[in-house]
Amino acid sequence: MIIRKINAFTSEHFDLLLSADPNKHLVDDYLKRSFCFEAFENDTVLGVLILLPTRPETLEIVNIAVSQDHQGQGIGEQLIQFAFTQARENAYNTVEIGTGSTSFGQLYLYQKCGFRMTSIDHDFFIRHYDEEIVENKLVLKDMVRLSIDL
């Protein structure tokens, strides 16, 4: 598997992007301002990683997704380590990520990779998403924000 820049977005990329973030308008908006990468093997896109510079020394993972057939094989963790390398090489000191308060597996993964919780954006998913999101039998309302200093 290699991780490389995305040159042209396909429907495969968008399926992955929307699995991590169902708000197409938000996705379209941050894609224009981000560094975009894909995990790729045997002509197949296995995952996506979108890195948005938010402040002079901060890079945010605004979207990370692995195709369902390839989840649980360590690709997500490799994409996060790749984000840390990109950040270091480009002189960013901090990497941030936000996820749903009901995304227990994702919260596990991010903390395993060294992220610490910093704040809660209350009602983020109520304010920014037209349709109710239900995950792990809970209605998703709040975003948990995490960060790591490199």
Q: Which two tokens stand for residue 43?
A: 């002509």
Q: Which of 109, 120, 133, 150 binds ligand ACO (CB under 6 A)?
A: 109
Nearest residue to ligand ACO, scored by beta-carbon proximity: 105
Q: Which is nearer to ligand ACO, 34 or 99 (CB)?
A: 99
Contact 48, 16 (CB under 8 A): yes
Q: Which of 23, 71, 93, 94 binds ligand ACO (CB under 6 A)?
A: 71
Please tell me the distance from the alpha carbon of residue 117 to that of residue 114, in angstroms, as a whole number.
10
Residue 63, interface with ligand ACO (CB under 6 A)?
yes
Q: Which is nearer to ligand ACO, 55 or 72 (CB)?
A: 72
Number of residues interacting with ligand ACO: please give it, by CB under 6 A. Answer: 24
Dihedral angle of Cα 17, 20, 25, 29, to the nearest 10 degrees: -70
Structural Rg of the chain based on CA atoms: 15
Bridge partners (DSSP) of residue 90 are none
Q: Smallest distance from the beta carbon of 52 to ligand ACO, in angstroms?
A: 10
Contact 143, 99 (CB under 8 A): yes
CA 48 to chain centre: 8
Enumerate residues 26-55 that contact ligand ACO by CB under 6 A. Answer: none
Q: Smallest distance from the beta carbon of 86 to ligand ACO, in angstroms?
A: 15
Residue 58, interface with ligand ACO (CB under 6 A)?
no
Q: Which is nearer to ligand ACO, 93 or 145 (CB)?
A: 145
Q: Which two tokens stand for residue 144?
A: 């948990």
The 8-class DSSP code of residue 92 comes to -
Please report, as ranges, the residues that interact with ligand ACO according to CB under 6 A: 19-21, 61-66, 71-77, 97-99, 105-106, 108-109, 137
